[in-house]
Amino acid sequence: MTIPDKVNTDRQPAIDTNAEERLTRRSIRSFVVRNGRTTAAQTDALQRLLPKFGIPYSDSPFDLSDAFGRTAPVWLEIGFGNGDVLINMGSNNPDANILGAEVHESGIGHALIGVEQNALNNVRLIQHDAMEILENMLPPDSLDKVLLLFPDPWHKKRHHKRRIVQEDFLNAVARTLKPGGILHCATDWAEYGEWMIEKLENDARFDNCAGPGNGSPRPEWRPVTRFERRGHRLGHEVIDLLYSVK
**In angstroms, what CA-CA distances link 99 with 28, 49, 233, 238?**
24, 15, 30, 24
Instruction: Please tell me the number of Cα atoms within 13 Å of 185 on its side-chain side.
Output: 29
The CA R_g of the chain, rounded to the nearest whole Å, is 17
Task: Characterize the bridge pairing of strands 239-245 and 143-149.
Answer: unpaired
Known catalytic residues are 152
Cβ neighbors of 222 (< 8 A, separation 6 or more) are 85, 89, 147, 149, 184, 186, 240
